[in-house]
C-alpha cells in the first residue's frame, strides 16, 4: 500500500464493520516509533496509526516543519512548511479511510509538541475530517490554520490539551492560551497541567486515555 506518509499500524483488537482511528503525530526530531510505544495501552477498538514526518533530519529523526534560529538565537517556525504538512496529514487521513475500514466520523489526532501544534491546526482547519484532538505539550499557532477557518462548524470537535508546568522547550504560558482561544470559538475542550517538563507523565497518559474512552 503506497500512502503519502510512512507509518506504523496497530489493528483494532475488537473489530467492527468500521473502526475509529487514532492517528499519532510525533514531535520535532523524533519518529513514528516514539508515540507508537503507547499503542498497546490504547483502547482496543481503535486503528492506532503512527505517522512519520516528511522532513528528514538524519539519524532516524524527522520533523513536520523546520525550526530556525536567527542571529540573536531567537527561534522561529517555518510556517509555509507547517502548512504543507497540515495539508499532507489531511490528505493522509483520506488515504487511510480509503484503504482501511475506518469510520470517517471517528477520527482522533494525538500529537506531541510539534505534532500537537499541527493536530490543532488540522482540526480547526478541517473539523469535517477530525472529531477529537489530544494535544500534548503544544500550543495554538494561528498562522498555520486555513485562512477562513473561523467559518468552520466546530460543533462536533472536542480537544484535550495538556502541558508540563516546567516545560523547558515550549513555555507553559503559551499553552495556557489554548483554553481561552478554544472557548472563543465555542469548541469543547479540557486543559490540564502536570508537574513535568517536555514529556508525558503516567498521570497525563491515564487522563487522556480516560477522556478518549468517555468521549
- 84 within a domain of the structure (yes/no): yes
- 18 within a domain of the structure (yes/no): yes
DSSP letter assigned to residue 41: G
Domain that holds residue 15: 7-214
Split into its structural domains, the chain has a count of 1
Per-residue pLDDT of the chain (215 residues; tens, 9 = 90+): 789 999 999 999 989 999 999 999 999 999 999 999 989 999 999 999 999 999 999 899 999 998 766 555 566 678 999 999 999 999 999 999 999 999 999 999 999 999 999 999 999 999 999 999 999 999 999 999 999 999 999 999 999 999 999 999 999 999 999 999 999 999 999 999 999 999 999 999 999 999 999 99
- 178 within a domain of the structure (yes/no): yes
172 contacts: CB under 8 Å, gap ≥ 6: 163, 164, 165, 166, 193
Query: What are 212's three cell numbers?
Result: 478518549
- Cα torsion angle, 127, 14, 211, 37, sign: negative
Query: Structure pTM?
Result: 0.95
- 207 within a domain of the structure (yes/no): yes
- 204 within a domain of the structure (yes/no): yes
Which segments of the chain are extended strands (E)?
A: 7-10, 19-25, 47-51, 55-58, 61-63, 67-69, 75-77, 102-112, 132-136, 158-164, 188-194
- 193 within a domain of the structure (yes/no): yes
CATH number of the domain that 19 lies in? Answer: 3.40.50.1820
- 66 within a domain of the structure (yes/no): yes
- 2 within a domain of the structure (yes/no): no
Amino acid at each position: 500500500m503506497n500512502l503519502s506518509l510512512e507509518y506504523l499500524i496497530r489493528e483494532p483488537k475488537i473489530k467492527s464493520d468500521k473502526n475509529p482511528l487514532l492517528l499519532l503525530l510525533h514531535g520535532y526530531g523524533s519518529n513514528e516509533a516514539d508515540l507508537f510505544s503507547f499503542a498497546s495501552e490504547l483502547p482496543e477498538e481503535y486503528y492506532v496509526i503512527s505517522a512519520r514526518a516528511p522532513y528528514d533530519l538524519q539519524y532516524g529523526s524527522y520533523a513536520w516543519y523546520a525550526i530556525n534560529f536567527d542571529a540573536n538565537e531567537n527561534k522561529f517556525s517555518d510556517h509555509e512548511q507547517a502548512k504543507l504538512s497540515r495539508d499532507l496529514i489531511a490528505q493522509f487521513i483520506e488515504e487511510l479511510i480509503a484503504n482501511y475500514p475506518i469510520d470517517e466520523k471517528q477520527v482522533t489526532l494525538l500529537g506531541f509538541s510539534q505534532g500537537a501544534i499541527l493536530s490543532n491546526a488540522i482540526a480547526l482547519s478541517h473539523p469535517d475530517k477530525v472529531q477529537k484532538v489530544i494535544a500534548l505539550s503544544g500550543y495554538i499557532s494561528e498562522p498555520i490554520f486555513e485562512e477562513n477557518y473561523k467559518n468552520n462548524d466546530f460543533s462536533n470537535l472536542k480537544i484535550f490539551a495538556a502541558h508540563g508546568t516546567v516545560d523547558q522547550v515550549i513555555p507553559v504560558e503559551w499553552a495556557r492560551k489554548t483554553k481561552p482561544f478554544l472557548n472563543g470559538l465555542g469548541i469543547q475542550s479540557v486543559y490540564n497541567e502536570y508537574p513535568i517538563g517536555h514529556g508525558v507523565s503516567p498521570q497525563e497518559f491515564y487522563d487522556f486515555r480516560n477522556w478518549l474512552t468517555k468521549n
